[in-house]
Structure 1
Amino acid sequence: MSQSDGSQNTYLWIGKLVMISLAPPFTKALSVMHKIEAAGFEAYFVGGSVRDTLLHQPINDVDIATSALPEEIKTIFPKTVDVGIEHGTVMVLWKGEHYEITTFRTESTYQDFRRPDEVTFVRSLKEDLKRRDFTVNALAMDQKGNIIDYFDGQTDLANKVIRAVGSPHERFHEDALRMMRAVRFISQLGFKMEKETIAAIEKNHALLEKIAVERIQVEFLKMLMGIGRKNGLLIFIETGLFKYCPGLRNHEKALEAFAKNQLNLSTSLSAWTFLLFYLEVKSEEVEPFLRAWKCSRKEIQQVETAYRALKVRMNRSLDRLELYQTGLEIALEVEKMAESFGIPVYPLQVKETYESLPIKSKKALAITGNDLISSLKIEPSREIGLLLEKAEKAVLEGKVGNETIQILNWLKEER
């Protein structure tokens, strides 16, 4: 029996097989699949791209798993790159595109709770899928659009459930980051979590200490920006995962309040800024807090700027100097943040005021330190920086025009 939901994908249910029409990212990769199969091997699309296809979500990249060994893949295709050959992954360069092809594999013990001590290549798709994290990710699709599902992943998709493949304790001991991935998927997909999987996270949460902060940060931010952020964050708190994330251990109540409020967290900037606001992080503590999360210098500066502006915006609009210091892009994002608290916002007025500023950066100021040295006969010193700041503020406030002579004469009178 076939049925169509009105979209481009048509489903055909045959026992545990579902046949669907392929989206463009899959069709572009079909010639790779054909070439592998023509050489006598199996090849399937696997993982997130298959899951998202069934959920009618956009597909960007596709992952391909195969029964061919890495060296066999390298003989099939003329151009390859060994991107992770020790774990069975070879990048194939084909018709202007690149595809990561990974051999079916099983894995041994994980002494560091992140990487297997040993990888064994196998010829069985089922054995390969058995080692994956969650049932909704343990799905495969062949070149004709047939879905292969050994672990009831489609049932869990239909019921909107995140469930570990097999024993959740084993899956989390293999890779402790999977615990963060679980709460991330709850948030990102708007799903709920199966009880045994929750219990296993609660029991094994301390293993998160074994995982690099950079990897935790990726999952954490995706969780904060998900459509089901409330449920994801509450499970993150309930299971104790928050205790093993930088700066969060003593903030359970603040995190619960953060989870329960309806906020517009559409970017990493808004996610970090709102988090700092709910944790009531002091301004001087923002930089070390974000550094502990391994944020980049640029991101730290942007978040510091947004956080400072949001605290002002909770009480009043930004004045011209504050708007200049904040910049238009961040100021407009802060307006969206303020709106989440029910504060009246004026994005058009912010834009108009910013556009009316006589200068948009220090580089646009009509004088330099050299002008001060030559015209005011000042020795190179800290006073030069203070005078430039004074001139910058005066120009922004309209006390003097942005012209070299005007500014110099004004500074002479003010000194």
Structure 2
Amino acid sequence: MSQGMIRDGKALLKKLEDAGHEAYFVGGYVRDSYLKRGIKDIDIATSALPEQVMELFDSCIPTGLHHGTVTVMIGSVGFEVTTFRKESEYEAHRRPSGVEFIRSLEEDLRRRDFTMNAMAMDRKGRIRDPFGGRKDLEQGILRCVGDPELRFREDALRMLRCIRFASHYDLEVEEATWSGLQGNIRLLQHVAMERVRAELERLVAGDHPYRGLRLIADSRLLRHTKVKLQLPWVHWTVQELPDALASIGGLPNPAHRWMLLAHLMSLSPQSAVEEGGKLTFSGKQIARMSRFLSFSQRLREQLDAMRELDPLSCALIWKENVVTIGSECAQDWLDVFGVVPAALPSTDNGGGRWTIFLERGRMWLQEMPVRKAADLALNGQQLAAHLKREPGPWLGRALMKLTLEAAAGHVPNNRKDLLVFAESLTREWKNDA
């Protein structure tokens, strides 16, 4: 976060104060400032009512007036400004049925989830900490504000947030807080799958993902999602977590962490599609995961079929899979298993045989003249015209054959040589429609 944004935030506080209102930075900004960690955004709590906030600032978006929130725009940056409030009874263990605007900062902080998130800071950097958030952070503890049972019953999503915060900040969950979480795990069924997926994504992308995965296993939370997941992860105990999973934090790309997790669950490409859909991952994310698993599965099947390790045959296998499944998934495969080679399964002929793909796969990828049909110096229209045939299903198969041969270096990637090679294969396509 830029210093300019912080200066704008302080100026916003001053303007509210000059108008006779209390105003403080709250939430993640205070927590992460205290820990000297990177700041992503700034939230503000104030005694001013929403309409009073909108009167003071020229550019406002009524983000959530019912809940007292106005987004104040300063340039292109938005600051969420929320009136001090108390919350009434929660509906469906997710959100309050209504709010009451109040004048007390402490009462506003009392409704928050964890002590480290229940601190406020004025524009001069002085922290208001009525529930001991700083002490808990110093001692490495994550603790609910007030009664943990009540906090988790109010909003069941807080259970996943608890695990995410504990893993991301490397904190121990305080005993009563953990007990309250475990006593309410069945309430996760009230949380939309989109919110579950968002929390899991943040957890896996965090600083200590393996710790988070251990806490997920220990809590048994994922057994109680709204849509039942058919993932081995759901039923793993801490003792059953694969050893290679301990290296997940070594993968800098969160997408690769998910690929490692899916691989260690032995998911099929189809299972990845089905379970990814349940978790509301995007179509693009699911397709990439499925291709990665297909690539790995095909390599294993072809490697198992080899009686002896033949580098030339391995190179052809690799390049064929690049062409038929995609170069992105080949790169993903190298990135994942290059960091976590222990995750590679034993083949029927021994696990050490994978080494050749790890050692030479990147070189084979770089030396390929073509990686897909679009890279050919010949298109389908030109091929059909040269062979004097009407386009049909045969044409796609013909282009794939030419791509494979060009990728393997068996024919130069220029139109003349490709057409000559195609002529030699016309008998193979003669009876194709």
Place the TM-score, normalised by the shorter chain, in its bin.
0.7 to 0.9
Q: CA deviation at 1:352?
A: 4.3
CA distance in 1, matches of 2:36, 2:296: 36
Give 1:145's aligned residue.
125
d(CA) in 2 for partners of 1:337 and 1:96?
38
The answer to whether the 8 Å contact 2:194/2:280 transfers is yes
Partner of 2:29: 49
Query: Who is 2:252 aligned against?
Result: 266
Partner of residue 89 from structure 1, selected from 43, 50, 69: 69
TM value normalised by structure 2: 0.83
Give the direction of change, closer, same or farther, for the CA distance of 1:196–1:254 in structure 2 (3 Å limit). closer
- Residue deviations 1:284-318, cap 9 Å, x none? 32211211111111111211233334456787887
One-letter amino acid of the structure 1 residue matched with residue 254 of structure 2: S
What is the rounded CA distance, in whole Å, between the counterparts of 1:194 and 1:345 in structure 2? 48
Give the number of aligned pairs: 394
Gaps in structure 1 of 5+ consecutive residues: 1-21
Aligned to 1:377: 388
Partner of 2:236: 253
After superposition, the CA RMSD in angstroms is 2.6
1:60 Cα offset (Å): 2.2
Which one of 122, 134, 138 corresponds to residue 102 of structure 2? 122
Asked if structure 2 preserves the Cα contact closer than 8 Å seen for 1:286 and 1:304, the reply is yes
Measured in 2, the distance between the counterparts of 1:24 and 1:157 equals: 27
Which residue is equivalent to 1:75?
55
1:335 aligns with 2:315: no
Q: Is the 8 A contact 2:334 2:362 kept in 1?
A: no
Give the Cα–Cα distance (whole angstroms) in 2 for the partners of residues 288 and 66 of structure 1: 45
The more displaced of 168-177 and 151-160 is 168-177
Three-state SS of the structure 2 residue aligned to 1:230 is helix
**Of 153-162 and 237-246, the range deviating more from structure 2:** 237-246
The partner residue of 1:168 within 138, 145, 148 is: 148
1:293 aligned to 267, 272, 279, which one?
279
Greater Cα shift, 200-209 or 68-77: 200-209
Deviation, structure 1 residue 179: 0.4
Contact 1:221–1:271 (CA<8 Å) still a contact in 2? Answer: no
Compared CA separation, residues 229 and 197, structure 1 to 2 (3 A) = same
- Structure 1 stretch displaced more, 371-380 or 298-307: 371-380
- Separation in structure 2 between the aligned mates of residue 59 and residue 326 of structure 1, nearest angstrom: 40
- Structure 2 CA distance for aligned equivalents of residues 331 and 249 of structure 1: 25
Return the offset for 1:106. Answer: 1.1
Cα drift, residue 225 of structure 1: 3.1
Q: Which residue of 2 aligns with 1:235?
A: 215
Aligned mates of 2:356, 2:26 — CA distance in 1: 45
CA deviations on 1:99-143 (whole Å, 9 max, x unpaired) are 111111111111222221111111111111111111111111000
Q: 1:281 to 1:412 in 2, by over 3 A?
A: same
Contact kept, 8 Å, 2:94 with 2:156, in 1: the verdict is yes
CA distance in 2, matches of 1:172, 1:275: 28
The gaps in structure 2 that reach 5 residues or longer are 304-313, 345-354, 429-433
Q: Of 265, 285, 294, which aligns to 1:279?
A: 265
Go from structure 1 to structure 2 and tell me whether the alpha carbon gap of 1:254 and 1:268 turns closer, same or farther (over 3 Å shift): farther
Shift of 1:326: 6.3
Query: 1:365 is matched with which residue: 366, 373, 376?
Result: 376
Q: 1:290 & 1:221 partners in 2: Cα distance?
A: 12
Q: Provide the identity percentage.
A: 32
Counterpart in 2 of 1:17?
none
Is the contact made by 2:268 and 2:293 (CA closer than 8 Å) also made in structure 1? no
How far the C-alpha of 1:349 sits from its partner, in A, is 5.6
Cα distance change of structure 1 residues 191 and 23 upon mapping to structure 2, 3 Å threshold: farther
1:396 maps to 2:395 = no
Partner of 2:307: none
Q: Any idea what SS the aligned residue of 1:391 has?
A: helix
Larger helix share, 1 or 2: 2
Query: Pairwise mapping of residues 202-217 of structure 1 onto structure 2 (< 5 A)?
Result: 202-217=182-197
2-structure distance, mates of 1:383, 1:141: 70
TM-score (norm 1): 0.87
In the aligned structure 2, how far is the partner of 1:149 from the partner of 1:65? Answer: 14
CA contact (8 A) 2:31 2:119 kept: yes
Q: Which of 286, 290, 310 does residue 304 from structure 1 map onto?
A: 290
Q: Which amino acid aligns with 2:277?
A: R
The secondary structure found in structure 1 opposite 2:66 is: helix
Q: Given the superposition, is the C-alpha separation of residues 27 and 192 from structure 1 closer, same or farther in structure 2, using an over 3 Å criterion?
A: same
Tell me if the contact between 1:163 and 1:193 (Cα under 8 Å) persists in the aligned partners.
yes
Deviation at 1:319? 2.1
